[in-house]
Structure 1
Amino acid sequence: MTTPPRPWPGLFISFEGIDGSGKSTQARQLYESLRSGGHDPLLTREPGGSPGAEEIRALVLQGDPDRWSAETELLLFTAARRDHMERAILPALQAGRTVICDRFADSTRMYQGRGGLRDKVDALHDLMIGIDPDLTLLIDMPAEAGLARAKSRATDEERFEDFGLDLQQRMRDGFLALAAAAPARFRVIDGNRDMDSVARDVHATVLRELAPSS
């Protein structure tokens, strides 16, 4: 079966999931697996991934949970993504590299789109970003388990974890709804297992995408 050509020679992969789902670990594992297989992937993250975006990351992930209004937070995330896209993601894709991104626009659709701002999230995305990943791996797990993992980490980036279990559950439901609405892009992977089992599923999924179409 012939698949439509991508707008760039590289493969753009994002990892999504609730806090504590293990997506960051799986993104790193995939990066190492692809490198050992002779590929030249780029591992990056959001918010962040470029010098300017990393500065914005510190603003949005640290401090009091109510530090920013929802509208201000949305603008900050969009600004970070625009810089990241221009300076890191698009150059790598245009050079034929595989880009592995820990979170992308789907996280903004969920977290910053809560409270009735989803239409604004989508409008800003269309206006200022205009791209989505070729493949999104949603690492899914129960909200309670994800929150327990997230709170056990030693980090000062706990602003969203501090909103508690209710937000975690709403975000999980939202991610699953996004996956159901875009099945051609999303693959849902059970993250409530040991790390190696999840990594094997992730790697097999990505290798299928990297295989030449016929």
Structure 2
Amino acid sequence: MDRPLFLSVEGIDGSGKTTVVDFLVRRLEEHRIPCLRVREPGTTRVGERLRSLLLDSRLEGIHPWTEVLLYLASQNQQVKEVIRPALAKGTCVVADRFADATLAYQGWGRGLDIRAIEAVQREVLQGFRPHKTLLLDCPVDLALQRRSARTGGPDRLESESADFHERVRQGYLNLARREPQRFVVVDASKPLDRVLRQVEHLLESTGIGRTA
């Protein structure tokens, strides 16, 4: 690895993102590579306030474009305050979601104009995006089963219909087809050891953990 990497992990709720982010961070640390874990929305003080608002299951009536702008505000704050400074210091960044989630959830999920969202993102984020994105893909019914086993109730987006989450899933797959050089699609319906093996291959492709 000749530069600090910005890696993001995407997927519908219940796809296993948290487990994979944990694994990525652990593997980087094992190779003595400085790394920072972030989540979207969140991480910064502003982002965490926005997260509590956006995911509040008691809050109804948020307009889809209001969602876009609030998520983008979190992304912008995180890039300026955390991600760019970390990369500049030689620290890798592993993100539990980033800007692709807005395209998938608010674009395909809510039915907003994808090009319009991308135009706003380009203006605010100035083209900044992850070097590599790991997309955990699994059927919606399996993701729902996994989520039902969790403690605590669903957040505002998790409470959406299965049809909504299927649109989000297809949105992610569309994004992956558009940018095959950046996206690595992993079949997250497979047993965990097989999923993590694919993640390991991603790291090796970047030069991390590769044997001489």
Same fold (TM over 0.5): yes
- Aligned partners of 2:114, 2:83: CA distance in 1, in Å? 24
Alignment partner, residue 56 of structure 2 = 62
Shift of 1:156: 5.0
Decide whether aligned partners of structure 1 residues 143 and 155 sit closer, same or farther in structure 2, where only a CA change above 3 A counts.
same
Matched, 1:165 2:165: no
Superposed counterparts of 1:4-15, under 5 Å = 9-15=3-9
Q: Distance in 2 between matches of 1:21 and 1:54?
A: 22
Aligned in 2, Cα 1:30/1:170: closer, same or farther, shift over 3 Å?
same
1:193 paired to 2:190 = yes
Report if the CA contact (8 A) 1:10-1:98 is conserved: yes
Give unpaired runs (5+ residues) of structure 1: 1-5
Q: CA–CA distance in 2 between the matches of 1:164 and 1:158?
A: 12
Q: Name the amino acid aligned to 2:36.
A: L
Q: Secondary structure at 1:210's aligned position in 2?
A: coil
Q: Percent identity?
A: 36
Contact kept? 1:62, 1:157, Cα under 8 Å: no
1:83 corresponds to which of 61, 77, 83:
77
Q: 1:167 to 1:65 in 2, by over 3 A?
A: farther
Aligned residue number for residue 121 of structure 2: 125
Which residue, out of 33, 37, 57, partners 2:31?
A: 37
What secondary structure is seen at the aligned counterpart in 1 of 2:206? Answer: helix
Amino acid at match of 2:4: G
**Deviates most, 61-70 or 80-89:** 61-70
Say which of 62, 83, 92 aligns to 1:98: 92
Secondary structure at the aligned position of 2:111 is classed as coil
> 1:91, CA displacement in angstroms?
0.8
Letter in 1 for 2:122: D
C-alpha contact (below 8 Å) 1:189/1:201 kept by paired residues: yes
CA-to-aligned-CA distance 1:28-60 (integer Å, 9 cap, x gap): 111011101211111111011211101100000
Tell me, in whole angstroms, the C-alpha distance in 1 between the residues paired with 2:164 and 2:76.
26
Stretches of structure 2 that go unaligned for 5 or more consecutive residues are none
- Contact between 1:147 and 1:164, CA under 8 Å: does it hold in 2? no
Measure how far apart 1:95 and its partner are: 1.3
Q: Secondary structure at the match of 1:204?
A: helix
Q: Residues 138-191 of structure 1, C-alpha deviation per residue, up to 9 Å, x if partnerless?
A: 011111101221233224552112112101111111111110110010000111
How many angstroms apart in 2 are the aligned matches of 1:154 and 1:56?
23
Corresponding residue for 1:3?
Answer: none
What TM-score do the two structures reach when normalised by structure 2?
A: 0.90
Task: Tell me, yes or no, if the aligned pair for 2:9 and 2:95 is still in contact at 8 Å.
Answer: yes
Q: Give the whole-Å Cα distance in 1 for the aligned partners of 2:61 and 2:36.
A: 32
Query: What RMSD, in angstroms, separates the aligned Cα atoms of the two structures?
Result: 1.8
Amino acid at match of 1:181: R
Q: Aligned match of 1:72 in 63, 66, 79?
A: 66
